[in-house]
Chain A
Amino acid sequence: MSKILEIAKREYLYNLRKPSFLFAAFGTPLIIIFTWILVFAGMGSQSEPEPLTQVGMVDLVGIIDPTVTVDNVTMTVIPYTDEATARADLDEKRLEAYFVLPEGFKTSGILPIYSYQEVPSSLQGDIRRLIVGNIRSQSQVDMPLDRILVPVNEMTIQILDSGRTINEAGIVFTFLAPFFFSLLFWISMQTTGNFLMNGLVEEKKNRIIEILVTTVTPTQLLTGKIIGLGLLGLTQVGLWLSVALLAITFGPQIEFLEGLGNVQLPADLIISGFLFFGMGYLFNASLLAGAGVLAGTEQQSAQYSALILMPGYLPPVFLIIEFISNTNGPTATLLSMIPFTAPLSMVMRIGFGAVPIEQILLSLGILALSTLIVSWASGKVFRWGLLLYGKKINLRELLGVVASRKVTYATSATLSESGRGAE
C-alpha cells in the first residue's frame, strides 16, 4: 500500500508541475472565462430593453402607500388588490409587467416579477427604491431589522409566454453552462489520461521501468499511477468549479456580467459530473495504460490516445443540437449508454433536462461493468508489455494475452523466438 501511495504521490507532484498541466489547469478556464465575458458584455449592451412605464403592483402585505411619492422612480405604478386582476391586465397588454409583495415578504424579502417580455434592470432599481422610500416614510414598521435594512432580498423574474422562469438571455446559458461544464470534465479526463500514457512511454523509453519492475508489481505501479493522476484531475476540476461558482456568485454584481446570474450549476449536475467522469476516467485510464505500454514513442501514444478518446468525445459534441432539442430522444439515450460516450453524453443530458433516474443508473452500471472488464484485460496487457520495447504487436497476439490465464512479462527475446509471451 505504501508503494502505491508513493507512486501516486510522485505522479501527482511531478505532473502538477508540468507546464502542460499548468496550461490546461489555468489556461483553459481563463480562455473560457474570457470568451464568456465577451459574450456577456456583448449581450448586455445589446439586450437591455427600454424602461417600462406601466407596471402593476400587488401589495399583499401593506407596505406601499400609493399616495407617497418616491424620488427617482420613473415607472407608473398601478396598484391591484389581487394577482388575478393584475394578470388579466398583463394578458390584455394594459401592463408591461407586474410585481407582487407576497405574504411573508416582510421576512423573506422575496419578490416575484411577472412579464411576457424581458424586463430592464432599471425596473428592479425602481421597485427597490419604491419599497425603501415607503418604509422610510412610515413611523412604525413591523419587519425584522435585517429586512428593514435590506427589504428586497431577491427578485425573481418570470417570463410567462412559455412557462420558463428565466429571461431570454438566460436560456442560452442554461444550455451553454452544462455543455462547458461537461467539456471541462472531459478536458481534465483527457489531460490526465494522456499524462498516464506519456508517463509510461517515458519510463519505458528511458528504461527506468527495468528498475521499477524489480521494486514494485505492475498492479502497484498501475494503481499508483491511476490514483495519483485521478487526484490530479480532481484538483483540476475542483479548481475550475471553484472559479465557476465564484463567477456565478459574484459575477452578477459586476455590471456587464449580470448575465452570469442566469447560469446555474445545480448540485445534481455537479454530482453526476464527478460520478460519470470519475468512472469514465477509470475506464479510459485503463485503456490508455494498456495502449501506453505498447506504444514505443510519444507520437504513437498520441495516435493511440486519439483512437481511444475521440470516439467518446466527437459524437456528443457534434450532436449537441440533437441533445438540446431531444434530450431524451433515441440518439442521446443510446450515446449515454455506450461506455465511451456515456460520460459526456449523460452529463450533458442531465444538464439540459430531466433524465429518468433508471437511465442514469443503467448507464452508470454499464460503465462500471465495462470499466471492470477493461481494467482486467488491460492489466494483463500492461504486465505483458511492460518490458517490451518498440515491438509491433498484432491484435491476435493481444487477444491471446487477454485470454491466457496467467500473464508474465514478455521481453523481446520471448516474443521474437516464440511469438507469445503469456504462459
Chain B
Amino acid sequence: MQQTAITVEHITKTYGTFKAVDNLSFDVRPGEIFAMLGPNGAGKSTTIRMILDILRPDTGKITVFNEKISDELKHRIGYLPEERGLYREVPVIEVMTYLGALKGLSRPEAKKRSMLLLEQLELADKAKKKVKEFSKGMQQKVQFAVTILHEPDLIIIDEPFSGLDPVNTQLIKGMVKDLKQKGTAIVMSSHEMFQVEEMADRLLMVNRGKLALYGEVDEVRRRYAIHGIIVEGSGDWAQLKGVEKVEAASNSRNGMFLHLNPAISTDAVLAEIASNSAYHITKFEQAVPSLNDIFITVAGERPEDIEAEHKEKISTSTNKVVKRGLLGRSANASTK
C-alpha cells in the first residue's frame, strides 16, 4: 500500500442542523503541495481540525501516515492555524525554543534550528527582540518558522499568505517549495484561490461542506479549459470569424473575452486578425480559466456571494448565543 500523508474517508461533521462537512474524501501524498480551496465557511478549517484531532468527525475515518492520529504522530505535523499568535512579551527566540521543545526537540537543538530559520527569514538580528516589537508580517514569518521548526513530515497551513507583502510571500513560497523537494507533504488551505493555484500539485475544492472538485491542478485546468481567447485592441470582435460570444474579460482590465466556435482553432483566429485590417491587437492570449472561474462553473455560484451569506449566518447565530447567555437569562428572570 502506498504511504499517504493524510487519508480522509467519507467524513461528516454536523453542528446542530448545519452540515459543516458532508461526506468528504481525499488523500494527501508525501512530497506534494495540496491545495484545499473554497470560500470562507466551506468547511476547510473544520476538516483541518478533524485531521488534527481537535474535532471528531461524526462519521468517517481519518488516518495520518496510515495510522490513527496519536500524540506521537502530532510531532510529525506542523500546523499553522488561521487564527494564530505568539507570546507577545517574550523574545522571539525564546518563544521558538519553547514551542520547539514542546514538539519534542531538545532545548539546544530547538534554539539552533530557530536561529537557522530566522536567518533564512532575514530576522536573525532581531532574535532577542520581543514579539510585540515585530510587525505583523514579521510575526507571520516567525509563525511559519515555528510550524516547520521540528522538521515535520506533514505541514498544514491555513491561509498561508494572508497579511504578507509580496516580497515575503515569495520568500515563504520558496521555503515551501524547498520542503516539498525534501518530501514533505504540504496542505495549504485558502479562500483566495489565486494565492496557491500556481504552486499546488493537486487540489480539493470544497463548497458548503461538500467536495466540489478534486484532482491534479493541470488536469482540472484542462478539464475546464474554455475554447476562447483574450484580446486587447480595436475592432468589432463580434463580427470576427469563429467568434460566438464576446464578454469583458474578468482578469484583464481592457481586454475582451472571445468565446470561439469549437470548430475553429486559435491559430486560425490569430491569422484572421492579422490579415484583416479592421482589427488591431495589442494583446492576444489563450484563455486559461482561473481556479476562481472553475469554482464558479462547478458550484454554480460565486465564492464572494457564498461568503457574504456565511458571514450573515455567523452574525445571527452569534446573536442567538448572546441572547442565550447569562445576561439574557437574568434579564428574563427579572421581567417575570
Which of B16, B74, B329 has most A Cβ within 10 Å? B16
Q: Which of B286-336 contact A (CB under 8 A)?
A: 314, 317-318, 320-322, 324-329
A338-B120 Cα distance, complex, nearest whole Å: 58
Q: B81 in the interface, Cβ–Cβ < 8 Å? A: yes
A4-B329 Cα distance, complex, nearest whole Å: 39
Is B321 touching A415 in the complex (CB atoms < 8 A)?
yes
Q: A191 in the interface, Cβ–Cβ < 8 Å? A: no
A394-B17 Cα distance, complex, nearest whole Å: 21
Is A392 touching B322 in the complex (CB atoms < 8 A)?
yes
Q: Which of B9-56 contact A (CB under 8 A)?
A: 15-18, 20, 46, 49, 52, 54-56
Interface size class for chain B?
35 or more
Which of B85-93, B182-190, B233-241 makes up part of the contact surface?
Answer: B85-93
Is B99 touching A215 in the complex (CB atoms < 8 A)?
yes
Q: A408 in the interface, Cβ–Cβ < 8 Å? A: yes
A203-B318 Cα distance, complex, nearest whole Å: 22
Residues of B within 8 A of A14 (CB): 87, 90
Is A207 touching B85 in the complex (CB atoms < 8 A)?
yes
Is B81 touching A211 in the complex (CB atoms < 8 A)?
yes
The main secondary structure of chain A at its interface with chain B is: helix
Q: B211 in the interface, Cβ–Cβ < 8 Å? A: no
Residues of B within 8 A of A414 (CB): 15, 55
Choose from B49, B71, B321, B324 the contact partner of A217 (Cβ within 8 Å).
Answer: B71
Residues of A within 8 A of B20 (CB): 413
Which of B86, B317, B329 has most A Cβ within 10 Å? B317
Residues of A within 8 A of B98 (CB): 6, 10
A384-B146 Cα distance, complex, nearest whole Å: 26
Q: A7-B102, A208-B87 given as contacts; is B49 within 8 A of A411 (CB)?
A: yes
Choose from A214, A387, A393, A411 the contact partner of B79 (Cβ within 8 Å).
Answer: A214
Least Cβ–Cβ distance between A155 and chain B, in angstroms: 55
A387-B88 Cα distance, complex, nearest whole Å: 19
Q: B230 in the interface, Cβ–Cβ < 8 Å? A: no
Q: A392-B322, A392-B327 given as contacts; is B103 within 8 A of A210 (CB)?
A: no
Q: B64-102, CB under 8 A of A: which get 1 and which 0?
A: 000000010010010101011111101000000011011
Chain B interfacial positions (CB closer than 8 Å to A): 15-18, 20, 46, 49, 52, 54-56, 71, 74, 77, 79, 81, 83-88, 90, 98-99, 101-104, 146, 314, 317-318, 320-322, 324-329
A and B contact pairs by CB, cutoff 8 A, 18 listed: A3-B102, A6-B98, A6-B102, A7-B102, A10-B98, A14-B87, A208-B84, A208-B85, A208-B86, A210-B81, A212-B102, A214-B54, A411-B49, A411-B55, A412-B318, A417-B15, A418-B15, A418-B16
